[in-house]
Amino acid sequence: MTFTQRQISPFNPTENTRTMGKGMRAAVLFLLSVLVLIGILGGRLFYLQLIEGDRNQQLAENNRIRLIAKPPERGRLFDRKGNILASSRLAHVVYLWPIAQPKDKWQPTIKRLAELIGVSAQTITDKLEQEGYNSPNLVRVSTAISPKLVTVLSEHSLELPGVKVEPEAVRYYPNGDVAAHVLGYTGELTAEELPKLREKGYRPGDVIGKSGVEYAFENQLRGEWGGQQVEVDAFGKVLRILGQKPPKSGNAVKMTIDLDLEKAVEKILGEQQGGIVAMNPNNGEVLAMVSHPAFDPNLFSGKISEATWKRLQEKDHPFVNRVLQVYPPASTFKVVTMTAGLETNKFGINDVLPTYPYLDVGGFQFWDHNHAGFGTIGFSEAMAYSSNTFFGQVGMRVGEKDLATWARKYGYGEYSGLEIKEEETKGTVPDEEWKKRVIGEPWYVGNTLNMSIGQGDVQANLVQVSMMTAAIANGGFKIRPHFLLEDSDAKEWRQSLNISPTNLAAVQKALRSVFDFGTAAALNSSEISMAGKSGTAQDPPRLNHAWFTVYAPYENPEIVVTVFAENAGGGGGSAVAAPLAVQTIEAYMKIKSMPNSPINPPVPAVNSN
């Protein structure tokens, strides 16, 4: 075999050198390109490893390690004897796990889930977007689903990637609508509430207290989130649990409410629209608080159907706590008028006044309720008979300024101190300055007369009337009503009204005369000595409201009860409200002799829609 050898022409000596130069330049360029590429890669590696190394390591770790948050069980509410007022029961809850699939994969899942659980796709999407598609936290989209729906979701699990059905403790009220307005209810965070509470660790779908003590004691009841640290694969599937922090349950709260008395008072009030509050006059503990109509707070632990919600709305404002709403206090306010008359020295305890069918003031006739008057009488008879013309004369001589001063001393026109302040209306103590500012009119003598008998613009709630009655019962001290049993500050807080002992005894005697020979004489008891005052408030064109406030025993008071019957008519406070108040006193005396051991029924299984 022979090889042909290329000859270099002597006439063209540069031919070979040009060819070799081109090859060298190409090599050099290639080498430079490689060096530049290595430099870029090296610089990038230097940046990623040394400058951004910690951050990227964390990102890589986050792609592999997830923290699945677990909500805590809400703290339980107990009555003063240890009976459970609110606890938890096991239910199944539907969650989304945002990181389980990419953002663009979620909509088919959401659409199918919405069809199965009856929650709109937009609502589910909104909750997911509030939390974020890259969040490792579970997002609640439905609460307390039925066992049947648990089975349905399990059967369709392949169509629902990223959807989890988890067991969870949901709020449970074993006594149904008993003490509903005191306890309140829980519910999911709204879109409006979430931004304000995120900084406190709340998440979309979290359940919080919405009203009552559930709202007031949210910080104590809420507890602390826990969770599991898990390792996941590229598809978000859990490979193993690396560690876990158990959720910390919320604190139990023991309340002043006596469940036995609460149930008894619920029956006493019955279907009468209105409210009853019973409290200890010496330390402000609220023993019972009933408002009718009411609602079952268990309804809010799951999904409320449209039919159920419509039925609730057909009632006359069942979510309004009538004990904390304000109305004209009517003749119960005569306690304020008597106190003001005696403490300003405009009257003495033995003074008497003539009474009339009516008082003519400024061309207006202010009638006594019997349209005849009661002759010449003193304070005890006037309180017993509830004479408008007697107390109208007292009020006009005292004047609106001193009436207003003493009303405020008793607690009118201000919040009572109850923990559920957001649901309380503080009412009105009118005076000349108030009328000019609010109504734009001058103050007239007729306004003073109306105020002195608890009519006109004066407004008060049942707790304020109870505070006034308690001050007379306990020796002249303003106390702070409260629901928290362990609240030593509230229990020990007492503010002297500085009523002279002689005048205080005169007011106590006048309230006792209501039972001895006055408007409540038919209810006088040889077993339980009581003192109190009736009231009938006008509410044209509707029927009159009925009031009665009472304390017992007269010699050593343990309980104050105030009853309000809304638009009751039928004879007013003495005929409608007084019997309910006396029945409450009798129930209290009977219950206090019963054993204190709690009786808590077993928690039933969830049966939600």
> Could you read off the pLDDT of 82-98 as tens digits, one per residue?
999 999 988 888 989 88
- Reported as a pLDDT band with limits 50, 70 and 90, residue 413 is very high
Domain boundary among 254, 275, 293: 254
pLDDT single digits (tens) 569-597: 878 899 999 999 999 999 999 999 887 76
In a domain, 559, yes or no: yes
- Reported as a pLDDT band with limits 50, 70 and 90, residue 521 is very high
Are 582 and 461 part of one and the same domain?
Answer: yes
- Reported as a pLDDT band with limits 50, 70 and 90, residue 108 is very high
pLDDT at residue 183 in the model: 98
pLDDT single digits (tens) 191-229: 788 888 888 888 777 889 999 999 999 999 998 878 777
Are 284 and 238 part of one and the same domain?
Answer: no
Are 231 and 366 part of one and the same domain?
Answer: no
Secondary structure of residue 533 in the 3-state scheme? strand
Predicted TM-score (pTM) of this structure: 0.83
Tell me the C-alpha distance between 485 and 480, whole Å: 13
Are 242 and 271 part of one and the same domain?
Answer: no
**530 pLDDT exceeds 50?**
yes
In a domain, 24, yes or no: no
Question: Of 294-308, 451-465, 522-536, which range is least confident?
Answer: 294-308
Tell me the C-alpha distance between 330 and 415, whole Å: 20
Residue length, the chain?
A: 609
**19 pLDDT exceeds 70?**
no
CATH number of the domain within which 147 lies: 3.90.1310.10
Tell me the C-alpha distance between 562 and 548, whole Å: 6
* Interval 516-531 mean pLDDT: 96
Are 322 and 195 part of one and the same domain?
Answer: no
Q: How far is CA 40 from CA 36, 44, 48, 253, in A?
A: 6, 6, 12, 64
Are 283 and 334 part of one and the same domain?
Answer: yes
Are 198 and 221 part of one and the same domain?
Answer: yes
Q: How far apart are the first and last CA of the chain?
A: 96
Domain count, the chain: 2
Domain boundary among 233, 254, 275: 254
* Interval 156-174 mean pLDDT: 89
Q: Both tokens of residue 457?
A: 């613009």
DSSP string covering 472-523, please?
Answer: HHTTSEEE--BSBTT-HHHHH-EEE----HHHHHHHHHHHHHHHHTSTTGGG
* Interval 144-152 mean pLDDT: 87
Nearby residues of 407 by Cβ (< 8 Å), 6 or more positions away: 333, 336, 413, 429, 458
Share of the chain above pLDDT 70, in %: 85
pLDDT single digits (tens) 129-140: 988 888 877 888
Tell me the C-alpha distance between 463 and 413, whole Å: 12
* Interval 418-423 mean pLDDT: 96
- Reported as a pLDDT band with limits 50, 70 and 90, residue 511 is very high
DSSP 554: S
pLDDT single digits (tens) 347-371: 999 999 999 999 999 889 999 999 9
Cis amide linkage into residue 553, ω under 30° from 0 = yes
Q: How far is CA 241 from CA 232, 560, 591, in A?
A: 9, 58, 53
- Reported as a pLDDT band with limits 50, 70 and 90, residue 607 is very low
Query: Which H or E element spans position 443?
Result: none
In a domain, 23, yes or no: no
Roughly what angle, to the nearest 10 degrees, separates helices 147-155 and 106-117? Answer: 150
| Residue 325, phi-psi category: left (phi > 0), alpha (psi -120 to 50), beta (remainder) | beta
